[in-house]
Amino acid sequence: ARTIFLKDYQAPAFLIEKTELHFDLDETRTRVTSRLVLRRNPDLAGNVEDTLQLDGQDMVLESLRIDGNELSSNDYVVADESLTINSVSAFASQSPDAGFVLECVTVIKPQENTSLEGLYKSRTMFCTQCEAEGFRKITYYLDRPDVMSVFTTTIVADKDKYPVLLSNGNDIAHGDLDGGRHWVTWEDPFRKPCYLFALVAGDLKHIEDTFTTCSQRDITLRIFVEEKDLDKCDHAMDSLKHAMRWDEEVYGREYDLDIFMIVAVDDFNMGAMENKGLNIFNTSCVLANPATTTDLAFQRVEAVVAHEYFHNWSGNRVTCRDWFQLSLKEGFTVFRDAEFSADMGSRSVKRVENVSFLRTAQFAEDAGPMAHPVRPDSYMEISNFYTLTIYEKGAEVVRMIRELLGPEKFRAGSDLYFDRHDGQAVTTEDFVLAMEAASGVDLGQFRRWYTQAGTPQLKISDNYDASAQTYELLVRQSCPPTPEQSHKDAFHIPLRMSLLNADGDELPLVLSGEPAASDAPTERVLDVTSDVQSFVFKGVKSRPVPSLLRGFSAPVKLQFDYSRDDLLFIMTRDSDGFNRWSAAQDLAVAVIQEILQQHQRGQSPGIDKRLLDAVGDILRSAVADARGSGELDQAMLAQLLSLPSEAYLSELSNEIDVDGIHWARETLADALAVEHAENFADLYKLCQSDAPYSADAASIARRTLKNCCLAYLVRTQEPRWLEICYRQFNEAGNMTDADAALRLLVNSPAEAAQPLRTQALNDFYERWQHESLVVNQWFSVQAIASRPGTLAQVKLLMNHKAFDIRNPNKARALISAFCNMNAVNFHALSGEGYTFLADQVITLNRLNPQIAARLLTPLTRWQKYNQQRQHLMKAELERIQADPELSRDVYEVVSKSLK
Ligand code: B3K
Ligand code: ZN
């Protein structure tokens, strides 16, 4: 298969000034007529290109004209993925420099399009997904983001079946036709690349609201859904208005069109898409209602609505020159949405959630065969590069820039970036240049974060000299090799830190060589730039405990030889909320690893009492707070009481002991439950509330903490707690509490749980069978149960009438949940988990290559398992590789992971 390289980038030889599309919608044969005004790109010196090659696939060409002159089949070549016109000037009525009109009629079959890319049917509606390269499945075009055009779109369809016809921009005309058909013409005044084009047609209902912008313009906001979902739109609408205001206040960005629309569709490959003025959402990322939606999903809706909205500036007004620059819009926009969520809820909890995710999943990607830089150098299939590295690590890179510039200069940098490049398709380099120009900060070495893959390691040791009253931090950085990059140069790492004295107070930080100052800062960002670097602080009167990498100021693995007492100290005394949590995690990791080693040596586990006691202290303060002032952040308490995930423990291992990790973590959790049952019970009761459901941060925090307590209580296996759990399931007034209880019943190994679980699962399905998103939850709850026999149950569920592998949400709910969130069963030594996944990948490879390639991920991580598992995993990868009709998507992932 071909590989595309960044170094081969060339500006387009032709530009498309104007794009007029006409869709005659029909399930089996949709006719697309396009009228493009093109001209030779005048910015390319000496451009005399006369051959025009357009992208296009899976369509039938009916006719082709240039300036009204019909081309015959001798005049062009149609290949699998392109249409080439050998000589434009042979047909154009004037020089191609001055412009010409290309008219093209093609026929496509939306009904047969299971890839969910291009124009397709989702249940009863038509919709599109064009990013990255889906527009080429709609008509022949220059399908690349640096070709920006003004679009006018006319949609013709049956009026009864498709009363609502939408595209980007403003509805400028509409009318009825004979035969029960009608039409609408939309015009988008903003130039855009075709990946931002969208079309929707269906029997949709909507809710409407208005937003008045900072310059007093009234914007119409509409959310379109199927009628049955009209009661699930309010939260998305609130989130949208919050996001619009926030972007004005924090980034000075105002919305530009007069209308902003969101449409919910059931069949969608990812979360949502930021098409200009017409965002298309996976139902799972827009619909929310207390009865059917968990708190987590409420928060996700808020974040995704904001993310897509923010793209209007970071992505649409300023877009990417080519797909290697994807993180330009994605990394920046994830950073923006994370800050938005932090402002809407609890800042430290948001950071904790983000960092947990990053250092579990993105670090694992960095350590795997698909590792790539934030700005990749090459790809086979761009769809495979919508990764955690592009999104999450890309966001961390932007965060580090803010760390280095400070918030004011960062804002000046983003203002300059938007101002300089409005209406342009640019690169990550342009972003960095704007940040440098506005701040005067040199980001020369910092650019390596864009070009070098892998997770840097920081090994820090210290040295206290009592007589000189100096304290040295010796920092060594290194970065393991990744595919195609064996050697790495030193990164520029912002290391936010502080030093704590025995009372937990922060010391003034004066580096040797600096003048002593009475107002020296107590927190600093050290610029780590060399492989080995020493920072010596003076005037340090006693040995301090360093608080390092505060707020996770860089996406690195930090190693410092803290004693457990140091960790306990940081956990309770550090003023940095993130580091308090991080120390608690490190302590729990150390204790779990100790239990695991004892287990591996055949010893019975001894659990460090200091951890048990520390959890007791947290619980007692939480109880006292809940009885009293209620000042503590209950979401943070829940985080502090949650043990590191099996996935994170696996990421930390050189060779993953799947069953050992599960066992050790369960052992510790069970011990905590038994030891502190009374406190958990008190806190569980104190967190009950009769108030009606609200999705505000404090209520979510309270429910999270309550359900965290219930989880420990169910671990005690006492029948009374199983009963209470079952009662919570039955009587819950919202999905968060019902779902939490159901998960606990499904996972409990207690004998008494078995009848309750069966009853609960049956009742749940019975009650929610008409809510497809809730049924998906029901699938995934069962798929992640660590009990033996789960795979057999998953296989049964694949035949359930509510399951459909063509629907990505369902495939994820069952297949992906089992393979990614159920390590003990997926990695069963029989190999049956691997075979199961390979079977599904082979099926999906033909139906939906993007989803197939994504599902494959857990098999590609074979390097981290023992010989026996490696062998079984590779055998399944080879079986997939032997499929003669492998899509480019799956081929790239399989071949790179077997290399
Ligand atoms: N930009 C889209 C992702 C498109 C994925 C294409 N395979 C959604 C987002 O990141 O906002
Ligand atoms: Zn995005």
* Contact residues of ligand 1, CB 6 A cut-off: 131-132, 270, 272-274, 307-308, 311, 330, 383, 386
Q: Which residue has its alpha carbon closest to ligand 1 atom 10?
A: 330
Ligand nearest to the CA of 850: 1
Of 224, 168, 177, the closest CA to residue 195 belongs to 168
Show the tokens assigned to 455: 């997770």
530-549 pLDDT, tens per residue? Answer: 999 999 999 999 999 999 99
Nearest C-alpha neighbor of 421 from the set 327, 275, 317: 317
Q: How many Å apart are CA 173 and CA 154, to the nearest integer?
A: 9
Across 641-652, average pLDDT: 98
DSSP of 705-767, one letter per residue? Answer: HHHHHHHHHHHTT-HHHHHHHHHHHHH-SSHHHHHHHHHHHHH---TTHHHHHHHHHHHHHHH
SS3 200: strand
Q: Whose CA is nearest to atom 9 of ligand 1?
A: 273
**pLDDT at 1 > cutoff 80:** no
Instruction: Please give the mean pLDDT across all residues of the chain.
Output: 98
From ligand 1's centre to the CA of 137, what distance in Å?
17
3-state secondary structure of 311: coil
Q: Read off the amino acid at residue 107.
A: V
pLDDT at 517: 87
Ligand nearest to the CA of 273: 1
Q: Tell the residue nearest (CA) to atom 1 of ligand 1.
A: 273
Atom number, ligand 1, closest to the C-alpha of residue 391: 10
Question: Has this prediction a pTM greater than 0.90?
Answer: yes
Nearest-angstrom CA–CA distance, 170 and 781:
43
**534 C-alpha to ligand 1 centroid (Å):** 42
How does residue 27 score in pLDDT terms, banded at 50, 70 and 90? very high
Nearest atom (ligand 1) to Cα of 382:
7
Atom of ligand 1 nearest to the CA of 311: 11
Query: Phi, psi (5° rounding) for residue 240?
Result: -60, -45
Percentage above 90 pLDDT, the chain: 99
Distance CA(43)–CA(674), nearest Å, equals: 72
Segment 79-131, tens digit of pLDDT: 999 999 999 999 999 999 999 999 999 999 999 999 999 999 999 999 999 99
Residue 379 pLDDT more than 80? yes
Q: What would the mean pLDDT of 706-735 be, rounded to a whole number?
A: 98
**Residue with CA closest to ligand 1 atom 8:** 273
Q: Using one digit for the tens of pLDDT, what is the confidence trace for 150-190? A: 999 999 999 999 999 999 999 999 999 999 999 999 999 99
Q: Which two tokens stand for residue 823?
A: 């390590």
Gap from CA of 315 to ligand 1 centroid (Å): 11
Beta partners for residue 602, in sequence order: none
Closest ligand to Cα 323:
1
Tokens encoding 406: 């400070």
CB under 8 Å to 687, separation ≥6 — which residues? Answer: 626, 634, 702, 703, 705, 706, 709
Can you read off the two tokens belonging to residue 165?
A: 């016809």
The continuous run of DSSP H or E covering 126 comes out as: strand 125-129
Pocket test for ligand 1, best of 386, 387, 848 (most atoms within 8 A of CB): 386
Ligand nearest to the CA of 331: 2
Atom of ligand 1 nearest to the CA of 272: 8
Q: How is residue 144 written in tokens?
A: 């690349």
ipTM for this model: 0.99
Residue nearest to atom 4 of ligand 1 (CA): 131
Residues belonging to the active site: 308
Distance 115 CA to ligand 1 centre (A): 15
Mean pLDDT of the region 39-44: 97
DSSP, collapsed to helix, strand or coil, labels residue 814 as helix
